[in-house]
Every structure is written in C-alpha cells, then in structure tokens.
Amino acid sequence: MTSETMYILAGVLLAALAMHRLCTARDALARILALNVLSVGIAMLMLLAGRVAGVTDAVPQAFVLTGIVVLVAVTAALLSLAERISGGDDD
Amino acid sequence: MTQLFDALLAVGIVGVAVAALFANDRFAAVGAFMVMGFLVALSWVRLGAPDVALAEAAIGAGLTGALLLRSARRLRVEPKMCQSRWSVAASGLISIGFAGLLYAAITSVPTVPAYPPLVAERLGESGVSNPVTAVLLNFRAWDTLLEIAVLFVALVLVIVVPVSRVRPAPLGEMVVPFAKVVVPLSVLISGHLLWQGADAPGGAFQAGAVLAGGGLALVLAGAMRLKKPLQGGILRATALSGLAVFGAAAVATAALTGHLLGYPDGQAKIWILGIEAVLTLAIAATLVLLFHGSVRRVPK
Amino acid sequence: MSTVLDILGTAMMTAGTGFLLMAAFAFWRLPDLLSRLHALTKADTAGVALIVCGAACMTSGIAAVLSLVLCGVLVALSGATTGHLIAQASLEDEERA
C-alpha cells in the first residue's frame, strides 16, 4: 500500500465518521465540530486528487487554503448563532 | 521507513478524529480536534503542501480550537435524547455509502496532470515564484476576493448577533508577561511569512493568522479592550479595509488593463505584495473580532 | 567536522524524542490532571529543546538556526503559560465545586 492510499483511506474515514456524527449528534457544538472534521477529510482528498507523480498540484492547494479560511468564518458565525439560540433565556 | 511513518500518521489521524467526534466531555473533544488538526498539518507537509499545512495548523487547529473552547462553556449542553436505533443505523448506512462513493471518486480521478503544466508555464509572468501564491493572488485572484467577501459577511453576522456575554475569569499573572513576549514575536513572524510568501511557503492568510494569534493574546491579557469605541472602531475599520482595498484594486486593474485583477505587465509583484499586506492586517482584525464576538451596548 | 555534528545532532534528536515519548507515556498512565501537567510541561519543553538543538547541529546557515531557536523559545513559553492557566482553572473549578 502506498502512502497516498493510506492518506486517501484516512481522508475517506474522516469524512464518513464526521458525516455519521453530523447526522446523529444533537449537541450544537458536536455538530459544528463534526462539520470541521468533515471539511478536513474532504480537504485531504482534494489535495490527494491533485497529486500526480509525487507532486501536489498548486491549484487544489489554493482551493483548500481558501476553504480553511472560509470554514473558520463559518464556524465563528455558526457558534454565535448557536450561542444566541442556547442563551436566549438567561438575559 | 517513511511508509511506516505515513501509516502511523494516518492511523493516528483517524484515531484522534474518533476521539474528537465521539468523546463525551466537550473539552476532551475540542482538545482531540486540535491534535487532529496538527497531525493533519504534518501529513500535508509529507504530501508536499506546506502552505496549506501552515494554514491548517494556525487556522484550522489553532483558531478554530480557540473558538470551540470559547463556546464550549457558553453553550448549553443538549439533554441526551434517546435516539431511535433505526435512525442511527440509517445514518451509519448513509455514511458507509458516502465513504464508498468518495473512495470510488478519488480513485477514478485521471492521473494526467491538468493544472501543473499550465501553472508552470505562466509562473514567470505571475510576479511571484511560489505557485500557490501565484494561483491565489494572480491566476485565480477572483476567488480570493470572493473569499474575503465571505469573511466580511461572517463578521457582519457575528457583529449583528449579540450573545449574552459570559464574563471571562481573570487569567492570572502569567498572561501579561507572556503577551509582552509573544505579541512582538507574532508581528515579526507575520511580517516574515508575508514577505517570504512570494517565493516560499507563506502568504497573507498564514501571516494574518499568526498576527491574529498575537491579537488574541492582547485581548486575553486585557490590553486590547474592544468595548471601547475607539479601539473596537479601529479594529472594525481594519477588518473592512481588506475587502475595500481588494475591491478597489480589482476596479483599478480593470481600468488599467481591461481585466479584473489582471495586473499591468511587470508590476505584478508590487500589486500582489500591496494587496497581501492589507489583507494580512484585515484578516488578523477579522479573526480577532470573530473570536471576541459582538459587544452589546449596555444602556446606562 | 560535519560527521561529528551529524552524530551529535542525531543523538540529541533521539534523546529529545525519548523525552517526548516519556511525556506521552506519562499522559497516558498518570491518574489526575495536576500530575499529568507536572510531567508534560517539563518533559515536553526538554524534548523540544533537545530536538531543536539537534536540528540546529544538522542545518547550516544562521537564519535556519535562528528560526529553530525561535521555535524552541515559543514552545517553552507557551507550554509554561498554558500549563499554569490549566492548573489555575482546575483549582478554581475545585473551589467552586
């Protein structure tokens, strides 16, 4: 098994486990965390898809970088919405 | 030998991800998530993508972890509803199918390099020699402009949704001296990453994330008080300046060359560095504001 | 000369890795938070410092050595500070409980 295959399997497992958790968790924090794990798995697969002959393509790298930055913004927005929903009664 | 290392790393990533997803304790889950981020960053270094690895370590693991830890105490813990066994089984089946589809898709990707020859051919004209920076700020600068717009929208959302603030506990006497050392270092490292992004791993996003780390140290040490209108205003204006300057650059290049973000011949490096310098400050300000959340004005 | 430095560097990196392994083992075996912190903060800092010194022996150029030293200093500082913060938070939790 080559190193690439191992990382592909890791990425697939990450995405699938996170998907399962996203479907079954009730806790908002657990869901947001699962969304983050899912995106890491997909990013791993994107990088590996653009890897030919031991060189990782720069274009998927740029996409993944964009994705990481967008995801932190989305996470912050989701967390503040979740906090608003969760803390609506104590003020 | 390196294959053994890769195998251990891959197993470690999946194991820590399971801990992050299925832990009962919130803090343990977030801790495992951060460890997973660092392990994934290490694996991306192994895959020859150090730019992305830097961003994942700083933003994906560090800042996202900080955000989740911040919210872990504020969010109410949902009462564990008894889930029907059928829905869990259905979700498991869906996830297995999803995994199969993903694996089939990834192994059927054509192994002919599509972009690398194109990137290599035009790299000389892009003004920088790091291909990732060339893609981000020259070939597909449009995407990056829209990404900054997304950051801005998220920031607006966080600002207009005030949360009932939990007063943070005082952090003790270690934090102020720590911030005194770390904040100047973060400015130094951020400038270094910004400058070397032109021809080595680095760039505006990594530099912005490091600077945001310094900013968070200032906030936590109580030196930056975003409740004060002046300091909060300056930070919000800095966050806004990224989108404003990038947009203005797009309009200016359209006027000069007829293409949006098509830089004039021979001046690409100046344009890219100028945009990146503003973006670094704007991204850092945005990330600090996203962490801090909005401030509700208390009527006197 | 370079072989001497290589051997020295490899030895230091091996020792550093040993320290980190011990830290991981301690984290796994020790019962409570404070004793874990006690083991982790020290073994971690020592391990990273040794690895940094080992790597510095094997690289050339002042810039690479300086950035390695910076890594070591940052790890030492943040390790000590976060260790202190975690311990303080756990003590406060105990008082509240």
Residues of A in contact with B102 (CB under 8 A): 11-12, 15-16, 45
Strand partners, A52: A55
pLDDT number for residue A38: 94
Per-residue tokens: B284: 């850092």
Residues of B in contact with C70 (CB under 8 A): 185, 189
Nearest CA in chain C to B171: C85
Contact B13, A14 (CB under 8 A): yes
Contact B294, B158 (CB under 8 A): yes
Residue C44 pLDDT greater than 80, yes or no:
yes
SS3 string, chain C, reads: CHHHHHHHHHHHHHHHHHHHHHHHHHHHHCCCHHHHHHHHHHHHHHHHHHHHHHHHHHCCCHHHHHHHHHHHHHHHHHHHHHHHHHHHHHHHHHHHC
Taking an 8 Å cut-off on Cβ atoms, the answer to whether A66 and B59 are in contact is no
pLDDT < 70: residue spans in chain B: 79-82, 163-170, 294-300
Taking an 8 Å cut-off on Cβ atoms, the answer to whether B169 and C84 are in contact is no
Per-residue tokens: A23: 């479907």
For this complex, say whether ipTM is above 0.90. yes
pLDDT number for residue B295: 58
Tens of pLDDT along A23-81? 888 888 999 999 999 999 999 999 988 787 777 888 888 999 999 999 999 999 999 88
* Per-domain residue ranges of chain A: 3-86
Burial label, B115 (beta-carbon count in 10 A; 0-12, 13-18, 19+): middle
pLDDT number for residue C1: 59
Contact B294, B163 (CB under 8 A): yes
CA torsion, ordered A5, C21, C47, C5, to nearest 10 deg:
-70
Taking an 8 Å cut-off on Cβ atoms, the answer to whether B60 and A37 are in contact is no
Total domains, chain C: 1
Classified by CATH at the fold level, domain A3-86 comes out as Helix Hairpins (1.10.287)
Which chains are adjacent to chain A, needing at least 3 Cβ pairs under 8 Å? B
Whether B61 has its CB under 8 Å from any CB of chain A: the answer is no
Residues of A in contact with B26 (CB under 8 A): 29
Structural domain of residue C61, as residue ranges? 2-96
Residue A89 pLDDT greater than 80, yes or no:
no
Instruction: Give the Cα separation of A69 and B241 in Å (integer).
Output: 17
pLDDT number for residue B300: 41
pLDDT number for residue B43: 93
Q: Which amino acid is at C25?
A: F
> Which of 235-274 (B) contact A at CB < 8 A?
none
Instruction: Give the Cα separation of B277 and B92 in Å (integer).
Output: 46
pLDDT number for residue B208: 93
Nearest CA in chain B to C92: B169
pLDDT number for residue A91: 43
pLDDT number for residue B80: 62
Which carries the bigger pLDDT value, residue B76 or residue C5? C5
Taking an 8 Å cut-off on Cβ atoms, the answer to whether B169 and C92 are in contact is yes
